[in-house]
Protein backbone atom coordinates (compact mmCIF):
# COMPACT_ATOMS: atom_id res chain seq x y z
CA UNK A 1 0.00 0.00 0.00
CA UNK A 2 1.32 3.42 -0.99
CA UNK A 3 -0.29 6.64 0.18
CA UNK A 4 0.43 10.21 -0.92
CA UNK A 5 -0.67 12.68 1.75
CA UNK A 6 -0.86 16.46 1.63
CA UNK A 7 -1.66 18.97 4.36
CA UNK A 8 -2.23 22.70 3.93
CA UNK A 9 -3.52 25.57 6.02
CA UNK A 10 -5.29 27.51 3.26
CA UNK A 11 -5.68 30.77 5.28
CA UNK A 12 -9.32 31.10 4.32
CA UNK A 13 -10.70 33.75 6.68
CA UNK A 14 -13.52 35.66 4.93
CA UNK A 15 -12.93 39.44 4.62
CA UNK A 16 -9.51 39.10 6.28
CA UNK A 17 -7.32 36.75 4.23
CA UNK A 18 -5.80 38.45 1.22
CA UNK A 19 -6.52 37.18 -2.33
CA UNK A 20 -8.65 34.41 -0.82
CA UNK A 21 -10.91 33.64 -3.78
CA UNK A 22 -8.07 33.48 -6.29
CA UNK A 23 -5.94 31.40 -3.97
CA UNK A 24 -8.74 28.91 -3.23
CA UNK A 25 -9.25 28.37 -6.96
CA UNK A 26 -5.51 27.81 -7.41
CA UNK A 27 -5.50 25.35 -4.49
CA UNK A 28 -8.41 23.55 -6.11
CA UNK A 29 -6.39 23.19 -9.32
CA UNK A 30 -3.49 21.67 -7.38
CA UNK A 31 -5.70 19.19 -5.53
CA UNK A 32 -7.51 18.23 -8.75
CA UNK A 33 -4.21 17.14 -10.32
CA UNK A 34 -4.70 13.62 -8.98
CA UNK A 35 -1.28 13.55 -7.29
CA UNK A 36 -2.66 13.00 -3.80
CA UNK A 37 -4.58 10.19 -2.13
CA UNK A 38 -5.49 12.01 1.09
CA UNK A 39 -5.62 15.77 1.71
CA UNK A 40 -5.91 17.49 5.09
CA UNK A 41 -7.02 21.14 5.07
CA UNK A 42 -7.16 23.72 7.84
CA UNK A 43 -8.67 27.21 8.10
CA UNK A 44 -11.43 26.46 5.63
CA UNK A 45 -13.61 29.00 7.39
CA UNK A 46 -16.01 29.65 4.51
CA UNK A 47 -18.57 26.99 3.60
CA UNK A 48 -18.60 28.28 0.03
CA UNK A 49 -14.83 27.65 -0.20
CA UNK A 50 -15.31 24.09 1.02
CA UNK A 51 -18.13 23.43 -1.40
CA UNK A 52 -16.05 24.81 -4.26
CA UNK A 53 -13.04 22.63 -3.38
CA UNK A 54 -15.26 19.59 -2.92
CA UNK A 55 -16.79 20.06 -6.37
CA UNK A 56 -13.45 20.88 -7.99
CA UNK A 57 -11.77 17.65 -6.84
CA UNK A 58 -14.72 15.25 -7.08
CA UNK A 59 -13.15 13.32 -9.96
CA UNK A 60 -9.95 12.46 -8.07
CA UNK A 61 -10.91 12.92 -4.41
CA UNK A 62 -14.60 11.94 -4.37
CA UNK A 63 -14.85 11.33 -0.61
CA UNK A 64 -14.85 14.52 1.48
CA UNK A 65 -15.78 15.46 5.00
CA UNK A 66 -15.93 18.81 6.79
CA UNK A 67 -15.90 18.88 10.59
CA UNK A 68 -18.58 21.36 11.63
CA UNK A 69 -18.15 22.84 15.09
CA UNK A 70 -18.43 26.04 17.08
CA UNK A 71 -19.79 29.31 15.72
CA UNK A 72 -17.90 29.50 12.42
CA UNK A 73 -16.89 25.85 11.96
CA UNK A 74 -13.67 24.11 12.92
CA UNK A 75 -12.03 24.97 9.59
CA UNK A 76 -10.95 21.32 9.23
CA UNK A 77 -11.62 19.10 6.22
CA UNK A 78 -10.40 15.80 4.80
CA UNK A 79 -10.51 14.89 1.12
CA UNK A 80 -9.83 11.31 0.06
CA UNK A 81 -9.42 9.12 -2.98
CA UNK A 82 -10.68 6.20 -0.91
CA UNK A 83 -14.04 5.77 0.90
CA UNK A 84 -14.49 7.47 4.26
CA UNK A 85 -16.40 4.85 6.26
CA UNK A 86 -16.65 6.80 9.53
CA UNK A 87 -15.92 10.28 10.84
CA UNK A 88 -15.85 11.81 14.29
CA UNK A 89 -14.94 15.16 15.83
CA UNK A 90 -13.51 15.46 19.33
CA UNK A 91 -13.72 18.99 20.77
CA UNK A 92 -11.02 20.17 23.16
CA UNK A 93 -11.83 21.15 26.75
CA UNK A 94 -10.01 24.50 26.41
CA UNK A 95 -9.89 26.58 23.28
CA UNK A 96 -8.92 30.21 23.79
CA UNK A 97 -10.93 33.07 25.24
CA UNK A 98 -14.32 34.29 24.06
CA UNK A 99 -13.51 37.94 24.84
CA UNK A 100 -10.37 37.98 22.67
CA UNK A 101 -12.32 38.42 19.49
CA UNK A 102 -9.24 39.50 17.55
CA UNK A 103 -7.81 35.99 17.91
CA UNK A 104 -11.03 34.15 17.22
CA UNK A 105 -9.88 30.62 18.15
CA UNK A 106 -12.78 30.12 20.57
CA UNK A 107 -15.37 30.78 17.89
CA UNK A 108 -14.04 27.90 15.77
CA UNK A 109 -14.89 25.33 18.44
CA UNK A 110 -11.58 23.66 17.70
CA UNK A 111 -10.73 20.01 18.21
CA UNK A 112 -9.35 17.01 16.35
CA UNK A 113 -11.23 15.39 13.50
CA UNK A 114 -10.87 11.72 12.62
CA UNK A 115 -11.80 9.91 9.41
CA UNK A 116 -11.66 6.16 9.05
CA UNK A 117 -10.66 5.52 5.44
CA UNK A 118 -10.90 2.13 3.76
CA UNK A 119 -7.82 1.64 1.58
CA UNK A 120 -7.88 -1.70 -0.22
CA UNK A 121 -10.07 -3.13 2.56
CA UNK A 122 -7.63 -1.92 5.21
CA UNK A 123 -8.49 0.84 7.70
CA UNK A 124 -6.35 3.96 7.73
CA UNK A 125 -7.18 6.47 10.46
CA UNK A 126 -6.52 10.05 9.40
CA UNK A 127 -6.62 12.86 11.95
CA UNK A 128 -6.66 16.59 11.27
CA UNK A 129 -6.06 19.26 13.90
CA UNK A 130 -5.25 22.95 14.22
CA UNK A 131 -3.88 23.76 17.67
CA UNK A 132 -4.28 27.18 19.26
CA UNK A 133 -1.99 29.81 17.75
CA UNK A 134 0.92 31.14 19.77
CA UNK A 135 0.55 34.86 18.86
CA UNK A 136 3.31 36.01 21.23
CA UNK A 137 6.19 33.62 21.93
CA UNK A 138 7.70 35.86 24.62
CA UNK A 139 4.41 36.14 26.53
CA UNK A 140 2.38 33.10 25.57
CA UNK A 141 -1.02 33.34 27.26
CA UNK A 142 -2.19 30.19 25.50
CA UNK A 143 0.61 27.80 26.49
CA UNK A 144 -1.59 25.79 28.87
CA UNK A 145 -4.36 25.58 26.27
CA UNK A 146 -2.03 24.37 23.54
CA UNK A 147 -0.31 21.79 25.75
CA UNK A 148 -3.67 20.40 26.90
CA UNK A 149 -4.86 20.29 23.30
CA UNK A 150 -1.70 18.40 22.31
CA UNK A 151 -2.09 15.83 25.09
CA UNK A 152 -5.82 15.50 24.45
CA UNK A 153 -5.10 14.86 20.76
CA UNK A 154 -2.45 12.28 21.61
CA UNK A 155 -4.83 10.49 23.98
CA UNK A 156 -7.58 10.53 21.35
CA UNK A 157 -5.24 9.09 18.71
CA UNK A 158 -4.02 6.36 21.07
CA UNK A 159 -7.58 5.51 22.19
CA UNK A 160 -8.91 5.20 18.63
CA UNK A 161 -6.06 3.13 17.26
CA UNK A 162 -8.21 0.02 16.94
CA UNK A 163 -7.37 -2.28 14.04
CA UNK A 164 -5.97 0.45 11.82
CA UNK A 165 -2.93 -0.40 9.72
CA UNK A 166 -1.84 3.24 9.74
CA UNK A 167 -2.56 6.38 11.75
CA UNK A 168 -1.79 9.78 10.26
CA UNK A 169 -2.05 13.19 11.92
CA UNK A 170 -1.78 15.99 9.37
CA UNK A 171 -2.30 19.63 10.19
CA UNK A 172 -1.15 22.99 11.49
CA UNK A 173 -0.09 22.23 15.06
CA UNK A 174 1.20 25.74 15.86
CA UNK A 175 4.16 24.30 17.73
CA UNK A 176 7.77 23.92 16.68
CA UNK A 177 9.97 20.84 17.13
CA UNK A 178 11.33 20.87 20.66
CA UNK A 179 8.44 22.91 22.04
CA UNK A 180 6.57 21.36 24.93
CA UNK A 181 3.32 20.82 23.00
CA UNK A 182 5.22 19.02 20.23
CA UNK A 183 7.06 16.80 22.71
CA UNK A 184 3.87 15.93 24.58
CA UNK A 185 2.02 15.08 21.38
CA UNK A 186 4.74 12.93 19.83
CA UNK A 187 5.79 11.02 22.95
CA UNK A 188 2.25 10.37 24.19
CA UNK A 189 0.87 9.26 20.81
CA UNK A 190 4.03 7.44 19.63
CA UNK A 191 3.71 9.15 16.25
CA UNK A 192 6.75 9.68 14.03
CA UNK A 193 7.53 12.94 12.27
CA UNK A 194 7.74 12.50 8.50
CA UNK A 195 10.16 15.42 8.23
CA UNK A 196 13.33 14.33 6.43
CA UNK A 197 16.28 16.51 7.40
CA UNK A 198 18.57 14.75 4.92
CA UNK A 199 16.46 15.58 1.88
CA UNK A 200 15.23 19.11 2.59
CA UNK A 201 17.62 20.41 5.24
CA UNK A 202 17.20 21.16 8.91
CA UNK A 203 16.21 24.80 8.64
CA UNK A 204 13.19 24.69 6.34
CA UNK A 205 10.02 26.15 7.84
CA UNK A 206 6.37 26.05 6.83
CA UNK A 207 5.24 29.45 8.09
CA UNK A 208 6.67 32.99 7.94
CA UNK A 209 9.28 31.91 5.38
CA UNK A 210 11.09 34.65 3.47
CA UNK A 211 9.98 33.08 0.18
CA UNK A 212 6.30 33.49 1.05
CA UNK A 213 4.64 36.65 -0.29
CA UNK A 214 2.51 37.08 2.86
CA UNK A 215 5.37 36.96 5.36
CA UNK A 216 5.98 40.16 7.27
CA UNK A 217 9.34 41.64 6.13
CA UNK A 218 10.51 42.04 9.73
CA UNK A 219 9.74 38.39 10.54
CA UNK A 220 11.44 37.28 7.32
CA UNK A 221 14.54 39.25 8.23
CA UNK A 222 14.72 37.86 11.78
CA UNK A 223 14.12 34.24 10.75
CA UNK A 224 14.49 33.79 6.95
CA UNK A 225 13.70 30.07 6.95
CA UNK A 226 10.55 30.61 8.99
CA UNK A 227 9.25 28.14 11.55
CA UNK A 228 8.07 24.58 11.08
CA UNK A 229 4.59 24.21 12.56
CA UNK A 230 2.80 22.12 9.89
CA UNK A 231 3.27 18.37 10.09
CA UNK A 232 2.46 14.94 8.80
CA UNK A 233 2.96 12.50 11.66
CA UNK A 234 2.33 8.78 11.35
CA UNK A 235 2.29 5.47 13.17
CA UNK A 236 2.23 2.10 11.46
CA UNK A 237 -0.07 -0.52 12.95
CA UNK A 238 0.83 -3.81 14.58
CA UNK A 239 1.78 -6.63 12.24
CA UNK A 240 2.62 -4.12 9.52
CA UNK A 241 5.89 -2.60 8.42
CA UNK A 242 6.57 0.42 6.28
CA UNK A 243 8.71 3.43 5.67
CA UNK A 244 8.67 6.99 4.45
CA UNK A 245 9.37 7.27 0.72
CA UNK A 246 9.30 11.03 0.33
CA UNK A 247 8.79 14.26 2.25
CA UNK A 248 8.82 17.72 0.70
CA UNK A 249 7.12 21.09 0.38
CA UNK A 250 5.41 20.56 -2.97
CA UNK A 251 3.95 23.94 -3.95
CA UNK A 252 5.87 26.61 -5.84
CA UNK A 253 6.58 29.94 -4.19
CA UNK A 254 3.89 31.75 -6.20
CA UNK A 255 0.54 30.91 -7.72
CA UNK A 256 1.14 30.57 -11.49
CA UNK A 257 0.57 33.92 -13.18
CA UNK A 258 0.25 35.76 -9.85
CA UNK A 259 2.56 37.63 -7.49
CA UNK A 260 1.32 35.94 -4.32
CA UNK A 261 1.67 32.53 -2.67
CA UNK A 262 -0.98 29.83 -2.26
CA UNK A 263 -1.30 30.60 1.47
CA UNK A 264 0.64 32.14 4.33
CA UNK A 265 1.61 28.53 5.18
CA UNK A 266 3.52 26.06 3.05
CA UNK A 267 1.94 22.77 2.06
CA UNK A 268 3.58 19.58 3.36
CA UNK A 269 3.67 16.33 1.38
CA UNK A 270 4.61 12.83 2.47
CA UNK A 271 4.51 9.49 0.69
CA UNK A 272 4.35 6.31 2.77
CA UNK A 273 4.57 2.65 1.85
CA UNK A 274 3.54 -0.24 4.09
CA UNK A 275 2.82 -3.94 3.88
CA UNK A 276 1.84 -6.74 6.18
CA UNK A 277 4.75 -8.12 8.14
CA UNK A 278 5.69 -11.69 7.34
CA UNK A 279 6.74 -14.08 10.07
CA UNK A 280 10.23 -14.11 8.55
CA UNK A 281 10.61 -10.33 8.70
CA UNK A 282 9.33 -10.29 12.28
CA UNK A 283 11.96 -12.84 13.31
CA UNK A 284 14.63 -10.88 11.46
CA UNK A 285 13.64 -7.69 13.26
CA UNK A 286 13.86 -9.44 16.63
CA UNK A 287 17.29 -10.81 15.78
CA UNK A 288 18.41 -7.34 14.64
CA UNK A 289 17.14 -5.78 17.84
CA UNK A 290 18.87 -8.33 20.03
CA UNK A 291 22.14 -8.02 18.13
CA UNK A 292 22.02 -4.23 17.97
CA UNK A 293 22.06 -4.28 14.18
CA UNK A 294 19.11 -2.00 13.59
CA UNK A 295 18.64 1.38 12.03
CA UNK A 296 18.28 4.32 14.38
CA UNK A 297 14.81 5.18 13.08
CA UNK A 298 13.50 1.69 13.94
CA UNK A 299 13.92 2.46 17.66
CA UNK A 300 13.42 -1.11 18.82
CA UNK A 301 16.13 -1.20 21.45
CA UNK A 302 15.24 -1.16 25.11
CA UNK A 303 17.44 1.89 25.63
CA UNK A 304 15.59 3.78 22.93
CA UNK A 305 12.21 2.90 24.39
CA UNK A 306 13.33 3.97 27.84
CA UNK A 307 14.61 7.26 26.45
CA UNK A 308 11.25 7.87 24.76
CA UNK A 309 9.41 7.07 28.00
CA UNK A 310 11.71 9.33 29.97
CA UNK A 311 11.03 12.18 27.56
CA UNK A 312 7.29 11.52 27.88
CA UNK A 313 7.46 11.68 31.68
CA UNK A 314 9.52 14.87 31.70
CA UNK A 315 7.17 16.51 29.18
CA UNK A 316 4.08 15.54 31.17
CA UNK A 317 5.59 16.78 34.43
CA UNK A 318 6.37 20.13 32.81
CA UNK A 319 2.85 20.26 31.40
CA UNK A 320 1.28 19.60 34.80
CA UNK A 321 3.37 22.45 36.25
CA UNK A 322 2.08 24.77 33.52
CA UNK A 323 -1.50 23.72 34.29
CA UNK A 324 -0.96 24.48 37.99
CA UNK A 325 0.38 27.93 37.11
CA UNK A 326 -2.63 28.52 34.85
CA UNK A 327 -4.99 27.60 37.70
CA UNK A 328 -3.26 30.16 39.94
CA UNK A 329 -3.68 32.80 37.25
CA UNK A 330 -7.36 31.93 36.95
CA UNK A 331 -7.86 32.55 40.64
CA UNK A 332 -6.06 35.89 40.30
CA UNK A 333 -8.27 36.80 37.32
CA UNK A 334 -11.40 35.87 39.28
CA UNK A 335 -10.46 38.26 42.07
CA UNK A 336 -9.57 41.02 39.60
CA UNK A 337 -12.85 40.75 37.71
CA UNK A 338 -14.78 40.67 40.98
CA UNK A 339 -13.10 43.84 42.25
CA UNK A 340 -13.63 45.60 38.91
CA UNK A 341 -17.31 44.63 38.95
CA UNK A 342 -17.70 46.05 42.46
CA UNK A 343 -15.93 49.25 41.40
CA UNK A 344 -18.19 49.79 38.40
CA UNK A 345 -21.29 49.01 40.50
CA UNK A 346 -20.28 51.71 42.97
CA UNK A 347 -19.77 54.15 40.08
CA UNK A 348 -23.18 53.27 38.64
CA UNK A 349 -24.92 53.77 42.00
CA UNK A 350 -23.26 57.16 42.33
CA UNK A 351 -24.43 58.12 38.82
CA UNK A 352 -28.00 57.10 39.60
CA UNK A 353 -28.14 59.77 42.29
CA UNK A 354 -26.93 62.49 39.92
CA UNK A 355 -29.08 64.60 37.66
CA UNK A 356 -28.09 64.54 34.01
CA UNK A 357 -26.49 67.82 32.85
CA UNK A 358 -28.66 70.00 30.65
CA UNK A 359 -28.75 68.71 27.08
CA UNK A 360 -26.89 65.48 27.94
CA UNK A 361 -29.79 63.40 29.22
CA UNK A 362 -29.58 60.84 26.38
CA UNK A 363 -25.81 60.59 26.63
CA UNK A 364 -26.08 60.14 30.38
CA UNK A 365 -28.63 57.34 29.89
CA UNK A 366 -26.43 55.62 27.32
CA UNK A 367 -23.48 55.80 29.72
CA UNK A 368 -25.54 54.09 32.42
CA UNK A 369 -26.47 51.26 30.01
CA UNK A 370 -22.80 50.87 29.07
CA UNK A 371 -21.82 50.62 32.73
CA UNK A 372 -24.48 47.94 33.19
CA UNK A 373 -23.04 46.01 30.25
CA UNK A 374 -19.54 46.29 31.72
CA UNK A 375 -20.81 45.01 35.07
CA UNK A 376 -22.45 42.01 33.39
CA UNK A 377 -19.22 41.27 31.49
CA UNK A 378 -17.08 41.40 34.64
CA UNK A 379 -19.54 39.22 36.58
CA UNK A 380 -19.70 36.60 33.81
CA UNK A 381 -15.89 36.51 33.53
CA UNK A 382 -15.56 36.14 37.31
CA UNK A 383 -18.15 33.37 37.58
CA UNK A 384 -19.39 31.37 34.59
CA UNK A 385 -16.36 31.76 32.32
CA UNK A 386 -13.88 31.33 35.16
CA UNK A 387 -15.51 28.05 36.21
CA UNK A 388 -15.60 26.78 32.61
CA UNK A 389 -11.92 27.62 32.14
CA UNK A 390 -10.99 26.06 35.48
CA UNK A 391 -12.79 22.83 34.68
CA UNK A 392 -11.15 22.65 31.24
CA UNK A 393 -7.66 23.10 32.72
CA UNK A 394 -8.41 20.58 35.49
CA UNK A 395 -9.63 18.03 32.94
CA UNK A 396 -6.36 18.27 31.03
CA UNK A 397 -4.21 18.25 34.18
CA UNK A 398 -5.89 15.18 35.67
CA UNK A 399 -5.55 13.33 32.37
CA UNK A 400 -1.82 14.06 32.38
CA UNK A 401 -1.47 12.91 35.97
CA UNK A 402 -3.17 9.62 35.12
CA UNK A 403 -0.74 9.17 32.23
CA UNK A 404 2.16 9.84 34.61
CA UNK A 405 0.89 7.21 37.03
CA UNK A 406 0.74 4.78 34.13
CA UNK A 407 4.45 5.25 33.49
CA UNK A 408 5.24 4.80 37.19
CA UNK A 409 3.06 1.70 37.61
CA UNK A 410 3.92 -0.28 34.48
CA UNK A 411 7.06 -1.76 36.01
CA UNK A 412 9.41 0.28 33.81
CA UNK A 413 9.80 3.57 35.58
CA UNK A 414 11.97 4.97 32.80
CA UNK A 415 15.37 4.75 34.31
CA UNK A 416 14.24 5.08 37.91
CA UNK A 417 12.14 8.20 37.45
CA UNK A 418 8.92 7.83 39.36
CA UNK A 419 5.90 10.08 39.28
CA UNK A 420 7.65 12.68 41.37
CA UNK A 421 10.81 12.52 39.30
CA UNK A 422 12.80 10.90 42.12
CA UNK A 423 15.63 8.45 41.47
What's the Cα-to-Cα distance from 61 to each of 11, 44, 128, 281, 364, rounded to whole Å? 21, 17, 17, 34, 61
Angle at 209 between CA 206 and CA 213, to 5 degrees: 115
Q: How many CB atoms lie within 10 A of CB 105?
A: 21
Active-site residue flag, 265: yes
Beta strand 230-236 with 166-172 is: antiparallel
Q: Which residues of 41-57 are buried (b: 16+ CB within 10 A; e: fewer)?
A: bbbbbbeebbebbbebb
What's the Cα-to-Cα distance from 309 to each of 154, 188, 224, rounded to whole Å? 14, 9, 34
Which one of 65, 239, 265, 391 is the catalytic residue?
Answer: 265
| Residue 161 contacts residue 190 (beta carbons within 8 Å) | no
Q: Which residues contact 251 (CB under 8 A, 6 or more apart)?
A: 8, 30, 261, 262, 266, 267
Q: Which residues contact 391 (CB under 8 A, 6 or more apart)?
A: 93
Q: How many CB atoms lie within 10 A of CB 143?
A: 20
Strand runs labelled E in 37-144: 38-44, 63-67, 76-80, 84-91, 111-119, 122-129
Active site residues: 265
Amino acid sequence: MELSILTLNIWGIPYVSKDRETRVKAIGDVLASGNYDIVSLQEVWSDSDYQYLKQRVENVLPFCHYFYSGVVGSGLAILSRYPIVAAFFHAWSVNGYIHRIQHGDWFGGKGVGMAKISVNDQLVHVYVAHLHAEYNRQCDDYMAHRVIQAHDTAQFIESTRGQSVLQVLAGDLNTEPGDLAYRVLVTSSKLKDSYDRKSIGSGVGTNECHTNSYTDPLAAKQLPNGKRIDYILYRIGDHYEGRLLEHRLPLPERVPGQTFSYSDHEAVYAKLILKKSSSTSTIQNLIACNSGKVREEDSCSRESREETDREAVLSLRESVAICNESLKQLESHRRSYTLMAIGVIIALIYMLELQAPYGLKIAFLVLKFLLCAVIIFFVVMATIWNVMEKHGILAGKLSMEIALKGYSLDGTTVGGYGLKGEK
